[in-house]
Structure 1
Amino acid sequence: MRKHLGGKGANDGASSGASSTSVKPVVALVGSTGYLGKSIVPVFAKAANEGQFAAFKILTSSTPKDELKSAASDKVTIVQVDYASPASLESALEGVDVLVSALGASKSTEAAQKSLVQAAAAAKVKVYFPSEWGTDLDVSPYPFPPLDAKTEHVEEARKAGLKTVVFVVGVFSDIILLPISGWFTAPNTVHIPDSGKNKAVFTAKKHIVQYALQAVILAAQDPAKFPDKVRVWDDNRSWDEYTAELEQVLGRELIKNVIPKEQLVQDFAAGPSIGGLGRLLAADGLTDYSDNHNELLNPGEKYFKRQTVGETLKEGPTTKRTIVSREITLPTDRRWARWISSLPIAKQHDQQVTFLGTSPPTGRSAPDPTMFAQPIPTLYNNARNFKVPKDRVTTRIRIWSASSPPITQVSH
């Protein structure tokens, strides 16, 4: 189990509600172009322009694109930084009260995260929200190296003297039908961990941003009294309830694939994945966040109304998602990735490719589908991560399309 990060219990410490605050913080964001960061920018910019923040700084290591530039105003500034230069970061963070990271804590961002912590400590940032935005890792007894970077980063930030707030939201409701979530990896099958009675937590991305906004404002009032870990959600129900709602939203009956705990353990040992970890935690009853900070940050649903997974799906194109299944021969030179990227549906960034195993057997475990459920452009860039056996083999793939109208066939 990950070392406990400490913190006050739900609704302890700071008073609920952030509208009657007096401190107007200077807020900085890193990771503004990522999946979550893009959604944070307009909401935080609006908060700054309306006087909830004294100022909002958007830190970026790349040349700002027009979409980001459009957020700039008298209260919103875009600052280009160099993560390899502590002086650059420290200068950008001068005068910042609250730093929010959506960089994505992983081995690939490890150096940038270290520099960020050092600069934030030197600039005397009062509150730091690291890039967590997911499952409560404190409760997990299962080692998973890809997420170790998050644990280590939080510990480093606290050792550096930063008030560090871990933000736990469960799974993004928006991606429940995508293979990477680990719950729904076939057109008519929902994967239920051990028992449909166990609860799991989902939060819509737009509400994660709203929770974060209130947390930033409230934490700035009295950092010492604000919890060290915040757990929030939109939906906290059993898998039986989620499955019933999915059937209603999708308009079809789903196959309930109940996976016993023993099988989940074996699968995770053979091919650890984020989806596999989530299923294990759910099987253990560790994804029930009945102890939470919903009322602290959104008292009486004052700032927004929580919504179910089904309500979130109805707002997006996900319910139009169709599947195209193909059997192709993969060459050892990985030209298959270029072929996939040339498909008409590859033009849409939300395509998902799921590898379903190889034939004939290659003498090794088939890859966990959730490890390779990636947007096609990402898949192409990371093609080297999937090692094709020396002999040409036939591999079944599934291409998930959220196009409208739905694409039902492709050719090659």
Structure 2
Amino acid sequence: MPAFKNIAVVGGTSTIGQALIKNLLTTKGEFDAVILLTRDPESKASKELAALGAETRKIPSELSAEAIPALAESLKGVDALVSVIGAAGVSDQVHLIHASVQAGIKRFFPSEFGIDLDLHAPSIPFVGAKVPIRQLLRSQGIASKLEHTFVENGYFLEGFFSPFFNWQISGTSVAVDIAGTGDVPVTVTHQADVARYLAEILRSDPAISRNKTLKFEGDRFTWNQARELVSNAVIHVPGVKTSFSTTYTSVENLEKRLETAQGHEWVQVQLLLATTRGQGLLSHNHNKLFPNLKPTSAKEYVAGLVV
């Protein structure tokens, strides 16, 4: 039986959050409680998760320092808290951490789910907000009271093959603009698989993940290999006319764009540049910890995009 019996998820209506909660609820009675911490218990997603057996607890709309007492109250009885908060709320996890300490939580999983922060965060401003969260969790004052687990998975598989990464895939019509030369490998993992790995960590011996960084990898490829995967999938649609165009944007042009980029473009260009520098590739992975979990391959995912 799992050592963590009461699991709470904040950001639980996100893609990973919903998949994680549903996974934890698969076997009735495995956990004493699977708790959705939500600002809106009446939302459609919250109600759907509650109908499956999740307990819902309302939390303040702003995760501010003033909200720490209320957050701590919401976290009473929780053994492990998994944060799947979006990028805009990453800094607010400071207050979640302090509330977790007040509530006596054993383990905190911050919202990371990306590249190797210790290696690459200094050169990628977009992920910089995650660094103070790691530092706080590793600090003596917090680490002596609250365990942590960091989870890295490279890029999301769905995100890589999306317009945000310069892919336009519509049936058998495909266009892609490749960053750099397209020869540098990158790690990708499907969000559903990230949720599955999180669930297995919560079910496993806590010592396996206590105060550690665990890396999970769904697949790895270069831009050019990804292009080939999509091309092959399109070609194999019988009796259908296909179109496929490929362009390349140099590192120099991307760096020039970054000088004036704002908002979503500022994020996009940084992530594209990271793929050209090898910063999107995990040095190793811990997939063998859970050998029965077979993550979605890029080939499998791409096949579903061009049907």
| Aligned equivalent of 2:71 | 89
Residue 78 of structure 1 deviates from its aligned partner by 1.1
Residue 246 of structure 1 deviates from its aligned partner by 1.0
Structural mapping, 1:42-121, within 5 Å: 42-47=22-27, 49-51=28-30, 53-72=31-50, 76-82=54-60, 83=63, 84-106=66-88, 108=89, 110-111=91-92, 113-121=93-101
Match of 2:200 among 214, 219, 226: 214
For the residues of structure 1 that align with 2:15 and 2:52, how far apart are their CA atoms? 26
Residue 128 of structure 1 deviates from its aligned partner by 0.9
- Which moves more between the two structures, 206-215 or 184-193? 184-193
| Aligned equivalent of 1:254 | 244
| Aligned equivalent of 1:265 | 255
Distance 1:290 1:142, change over 3 A: closer
For the residues of structure 1 that align with 2:272 and 2:195, how far apart are their CA atoms? 25
Bigger Rg over Cα = 1
Structural mapping, 1:201-350, within 5 Å: 201-218=187-204, 221-222=206-207, 226=210, 228-251=212-235, 252=242, 254-271=244-261, 273-296=266-289, 298-299=290-291, 302-303=292-293, 305-315=294-304, 318-319=305-306
Unaligned runs of 5+ in 1: 1-20, 321-412
| Aligned equivalent of 1:368 | none
For the residues of structure 2 that align with 1:209 and 1:242, how far apart are their CA atoms? 24
Residue 277 of structure 1 deviates from its aligned partner by 2.0
For the residues of structure 2 that align with 1:193 and 1:151, how far apart are their CA atoms? 26
| Aligned equivalent of 1:184 | 167
The one-letter amino acid of 1:178's match is S
- Tell whether the 8 Å contact from 2:187 to 2:280 is kept in structure 1 after alignment: yes
- Tell whether the 8 Å contact from 2:24 to 2:199 is kept in structure 1 after alignment: yes
TM-score by length of 2: 0.81
For the residues of structure 2 that align with 1:74 and 1:184, how far apart are their CA atoms? 36
1:249-303 CA-to-partner distances (Å, cap 9, x unmatched) read: 344453332333333322333326333222222212222225111112x22xx13
Q: Give me the identity figure in percent.
A: 21
| Aligned equivalent of 2:185 | 199
| Aligned equivalent of 1:122 | 102
- Tell whether the 8 Å contact from 1:54 to 1:75 is kept in structure 2 after alignment: no
Residue 229 of structure 1 deviates from its aligned partner by 1.4
TM-score by length of 1: 0.62
Residue 89 of structure 1 deviates from its aligned partner by 1.4
For the residues of structure 2 that align with 1:105 and 1:261, how far apart are their CA atoms? 25
Distance 1:32 1:281, change over 3 A: same
The one-letter amino acid of 1:179's match is P
RMSD between superposed Cα atoms in Å:
2.8
The one-letter amino acid of 1:309's match is A
Q: Number of aligned residue pairs: give it.
A: 287
For the residues of structure 2 that align with 1:246 and 1:127, how far apart are their CA atoms? 40
Q: Does 1:168 align with 2:152?
A: yes
| Aligned equivalent of 1:8 | none
For the residues of structure 2 that align with 1:282 and 1:66, how far apart are their CA atoms? 36
- Tell whether the 8 Å contact from 1:127 to 1:164 is kept in structure 2 after alignment: yes
1:380-412 CA-to-partner distances (Å, cap 9, x unmatched) read: xxxxxxxxxxxxxxxxxxxxxxxxxxxxxxxxx
Unaligned runs of 5+ in 2: 236-241
